Chains A and B, each alone.
Chain A
Amino acid sequence: MAGKTLYDKVWESHVVNEDDDGTVLLYIDRHLVHEVTSPQAFEGLQLAGRQPWRISSMLAVADHNVPTTARDAGIDDPVSKLQVDTLDDNCEAYGITEFKMNDLRQGIVHVIGPEQGATLPGMTVVCGDSHTSTHGAFGALAFGIGTSEVEHVMATQCLVQKKSKAMLVSVDGQTGPGVTAKDIVLAIISEIGTAGGTGYTIEFGGDAIRALSMEGRMTVCNMSIEAGARAGMVAVDQTTIDYVKERPFSPSAHHWDKAVAAWQQLHSDADAQFDKVVRLDASSIQPQVSWGTSPEMVTDVNGQVPDPASVDDPIKSEGMQRALEYMGLTPATAIQDIKLDRVFIGSCTNSRIEDLRAAAEVIKKRKVASTVKQAMVVPGSGLVKQQAENEGLDTLFTDAGFEWREPGCSMCLAMNADKLEPGERCASTSNRNFEGRQGQGGRTHLVSPAMAAAAAIAGHFVDVREF
């Protein structure tokens, strides 16, 4: 019999019940909750007169709607405020642990889970948010769910699931200097396409993935969903175990050795079979910049905006044409000639301490270009922000002309006050370049933190390796 994949192992250890047709009741270890996708679930629970099954599995935080400035004054927008207050009230009513807006531990839900040790290897982790895939970096099975499923997990601690297929994406060899986890994952998406991972759980492997820090692995797993996969995973190794150690929710000293012994099994067996294997050569990956309105519309920093006329498939060609119109770009424009109005460094893809260090490193006492209206840094959590301030990164940013903000989702989806105006062009370290994502009519280019910082200084995209 063939060996097991990492996905098989985590899946099998959570099966409560399996029907003949393969429908499984899957046990959920960790349920992360935020304000946008939970109110209707709490309401459903109340209407049905049900209680949450296991409150200790839940951790809640408001991140999408929170302002990133002047927080002491509370939330201005009454609709946003109601949603955050509703989360506070629900958590209080049920006794659910919540990091409130002015708690130092508050931040983007996918940043704080790992930071707190609330995400552990081998767990099943869910959240009413598609970027829950982030937590797969720990060898956890982590995926986003809709609000009805949020209610289902609250009420039963389980989800009704069918197993997906398994894909291995192996990034072999070493990346060159200046090429980051973000560039790796954008290159993967451009290779397999935004629907390439649909129906699969992806395991990311290969030397280039092994060489990444936990922050980098989270960046890669974060964007699994942009490749169509609900979940992405990375095998557990010493890097994982070192990261998890001594965090607030991590196993106590009493359980530590037993936990580590279990975690050390969390890798695919050498003879495991995948339904699909994709290989990329790490050394060929260049810094990436997206040019369109889907994360697969991406190219090298030294490349050009492509020509829809060169594509045969009419639906694809039309899609490219629409994207170029929306983005205000013409075919054959050099990526480095694209000028920017704003720069956003943040989001659950790239707002961890390592991301901020990488961006700060590029600045080197230079100033944000005068043509750039706004450049901002939004740390992923209060603790990331504090750490960055301890290292003096905030001063590096503010001296250069960046704004230094309070933690939250911010301009990743522009649900709070941080947004692009129609027609404005932004270099963003977030994960989605959809139409209107960062504000109606706003134009998003996805890049790594180092590339975003370099673009802020230059006023247009530049190759960070020559910067």
Chain B
Amino acid sequence: MKSFTQIDGLVVPMMRSNVDTDAIIPKQFLKSIKRSGFGVNLFDAWRYDDPGFPGQDASTRQPTKDFILNAPRYKGAQILLAGDNFGCGSSREHAVWALDDYGFRSVIAPSFADIFFNNSFKSGFLPIVVEEAVVERFAAECEASEGYRLSIDLAAQTVTTPSGDVTTFEIDAFRKHCLLNGFDDIGLTLQKRDAIEQYEAARKQSAPWLFT
């Protein structure tokens, strides 16, 4: 797994609530059997005027004028600011792959949908929960100053603004550990192989109908 330690990245504010994974990466692109290449279709329906289909040459398409990611000042953004319940809807991990492939490393929002939140860590992508007022403040500062960057330090669990203002965030200790080190969690689980086998043996006795 990709690790995450710290970044200092350009910020883009997209202060909508309930941004769903269908919007992040529309279904026609889920037909791919690969993990990569989803970035050009991130927010496809919002980002382009013409309908998108898999395998299209993106350079021939019509970008939607007022969609925020198309504004030149946000080119190369790595940190997305969003409203409540980001990543709701479908469990598609393709949503994280698309954000990551586009170049984002982190989303900062007041709340996330559970499955999206879980999926993020698997790609070394960091979802950060801070209070709504704080996200709104970041967004206001960002809109007011072109080139606005935030710096995120996972080890210290902090987000720092250009003026040096520091906000701390919570993260589960196990997840932090895996993310900092880029651990493969299947490998970690398989270190507990004996415990799994023991559980299974006991369960076969107590609930044999589950093993036919």
Contacts and interface: CB of A to CB of B under 8 A. Distances in A.
A17 B192 contact: yes
A294 interface: yes
Contacts of A440: 26, 45, 51
A144 B21 CA distance: 14
A144 B91 contact: yes
A108 to B, nearest CB: 14
A145 B31 contact: no
Interface stretch (B4-12, B81-89, B100-108, B145-153): B81-89
A160 B189 CA distance: 8
A435 B172 CA distance: 33
A434 B31 contact: no
Interface in A70-122: 77, 79-80, 82-83, 86, 120, 122
B167 to A, nearest CB: 20
Interface string A408-440: 000001110000000000000000101111001
A199 B189 contact: no
A158 B189 contact: yes
A37 interface: yes
B39 to A, nearest CB: 16
Interface string B106-120: 000001111100110
Nearest to B118: A146
Contacts of B27: 413-415
Interface in B55-107: 55, 83-85, 88-94, 96
Contacts of A48: 186
A198 B114 contact: yes
Contacts of A155: 186, 189-190
A65 interface: yes
A315 B17 contact: yes
Nearest to B95: A146
Interface residues of B, number: 60
A157 to B, nearest CB: 6
A128 B119 CA distance: 11
Contacts of A54: 200
Interface stretch (A204-212, A235-243, A251-259, A453-461): A251-259
B91 A40 contact: no
User: Most chain-B CB neighbours within 10 Å: which of A53, A130, A162?
Assistant: A130
Interface residues of A, number: 80
B205 to A, nearest CB: 11
A40 B34 contact: yes
B42 to A, nearest CB: 14
B186 A432 contact: no
A413 B94 CA distance: 15
B23 A25 contact: no
B45 A435 contact: yes
B138 to A, nearest CB: 15
Contacts of A36: 30-31, 92
B207 interface: yes
A175 interface: no
B112 to A, nearest CB: 8
Contacts of A40: 33-35, 93
Contacts of B93: 37, 40, 128, 146-148
Interface string B190-212: 10100110011001001111111
Contacts of B30: 36, 64, 415
A152 interface: yes
Contacts of B89: 130, 225, 432, 434
A158 B94 CA distance: 22
A432 B208 CA distance: 38
A50 B186 CA distance: 10
B208 A21 contact: no
B162 interface: no
A250 B17 CA distance: 43
A156 B195 CA distance: 11
A263 to B, nearest CB: 10
B144 interface: no
B186 A156 contact: yes
B15 A25 contact: no
Nearest to B86: A195
Given A80-B31, A316-B17, A198 B111 contact: yes
Nearest to B116: A146
Contacts of A122: 207
B23 A156 contact: no
B181 interface: no
A250 B87 CA distance: 36
B210 A29 contact: yes
Contacts of A160: 174, 185, 189
A286 to B, nearest CB: 24
B156 interface: no
Nearest to A38: B33
A435 B55 CA distance: 22
B54 A435 contact: no
Contacts of B23: 434-436
A86 B190 CA distance: 27
15 contacts: A16-B192, A21-B174, A37-B92, A43-B33, A80-B31, A130-B89, A145-B115, A146-B93, A148-B122, A195-B18, A252-B209, A262-B207, A315-B84, A432-B20, A432-B22
Given A25-B195, A316-B17, 9 more contacts: A79-B54, A148-B119, A149-B122, A152-B189, A155-B190, A156-B186, A315-B84, A434-B89, A440-B51
